[in-house]
């Protein structure tokens, strides 16, 4: 006999009311699910440095962004592209369709996702694609890129479900600012940074003055609405659709 939605809700509520039992059930669930096990290992290994812990993704997720970016890089014969937060490599494989001659690197802190990405690459060899397991751009050394994408990275499921007045207990603005500043150092002058599907506005960052923003008119996606400002407070009633940012050309020593 199937359980009713009301009964299931009652059981969940009862578990939450007994913290030790709720914690035990959650631990058992995490141990039984390989994705959750990998996520827990990642959070332990990179404690305090993980942005979006959930690896949910799929191929062809941002066709309008990729199409716009390919037009902007039309004059770069073999662009170097970084997929920051690449998960299982779906974004990297999608980018390959738009950029057949690019050198593409996927970076992600989740060891299971990187193993899956590398396994797919082993079955479908591509000398222009590689993956790095890391929680920051520090692992890139002195690499420079023509485009860096951070899609669905600066967001968190808890913010989505609860929409709290402040985000600092879950994902503070300062962490977003720190990460995009680090990416800025790996982007060539004239290169493009794409930050989308997150909870923050690029215009609020420390490095924003170094960039020119481009707003896309989406047909498949809607502007972001759950946003938080520099003060970590929720911004209400202000849709946001700035997606692509061109790093200004500068002379050596100006930055």
User: What is the DSSP code (8-state) at residue 240?
Assistant: B
Residue 214 near residue 227 (C-beta atoms within 8 A): no
Q: What is the pLDDT of residue 251?
A: 45
d(CA 243, CA 255): 23
pTM recorded for the entire structure? 0.77
List of residues 6+ apart from 216 with CB closer than 8 A: 64, 65, 68, 241, 243, 244
Strands 187-196 and 145-151: parallel
List, run by run, the mean pLDDT of 10-residue segments along the chain (255 residues). Answer: 57 58 51 55 50 60 91 96 95 97 96 95 98 94 97 91 95 96 97 95 96 80 84 90 90 48
Let me know: does 188 contact 248? Beta carbons within 8 Å: no
Q: How far apart are CA 179 and CA 181, in angstroms?
A: 5
pLDDT at 224: 79
Q: How does DSSP assign 156-219, residue by residue?
A: -HHHHHH--SB-TTTS-HHHHHHHHHHHHTTEEEEEEEEEESSSB-GGGSTTGGGEEEEE---S
pLDDT at 27: 54
């Amino acid at each position: 006999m199937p359980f009713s939605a009301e009964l299931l809700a009652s059981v969940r509520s009862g578990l939450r009311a007994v913290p030790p039992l709720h914690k035990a059930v959650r631990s058992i669930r995490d141990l039984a699910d390989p994705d959750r096990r990998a996520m827990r290992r990642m959070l332990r290994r990179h404690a305090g440095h993980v942005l979006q812990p959930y690896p949910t993704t799929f191929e062809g997720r941002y066709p309008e962004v990729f199409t716009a970016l390919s037009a902007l890089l039309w004059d770069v014969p073999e662009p170097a592209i970084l997929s920051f937060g690449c998960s299982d490599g779906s974004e990297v494989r999608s980018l390959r369709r738009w950029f057949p001659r690019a050198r593409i690197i996927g970076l992600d802190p989740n060891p299971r996702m990187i193993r899956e990405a590398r396994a797919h690459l082993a079955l479908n060899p591509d000398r222009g694609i590689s993956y790095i397991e890391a929680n920051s751009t520090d692992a890139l050394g002195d690499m420079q890129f023509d485009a860096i994408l951070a899609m669905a990275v600066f967001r968190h499921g808890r913010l989505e479900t609860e929409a709290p007045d402040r985000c600092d207990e879950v994902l503070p603005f300062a962490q977003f600012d720190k990460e995009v500043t680090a990416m800025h150092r790996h982007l060539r002058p004239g290169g493009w940074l794409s930050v989308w599907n997150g909870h923050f506005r690029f215009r609020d960052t420390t490095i924003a003055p170094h960039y020119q923003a481009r707003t896309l008119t989406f047909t498949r996606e809607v502007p972001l609405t759950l946003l938080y400002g520099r003060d970590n407070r929720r911004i209400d009633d202000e849709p946001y659709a700035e997606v692509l940012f061109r790093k200004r050309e500068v002379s050596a020593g100006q930055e």
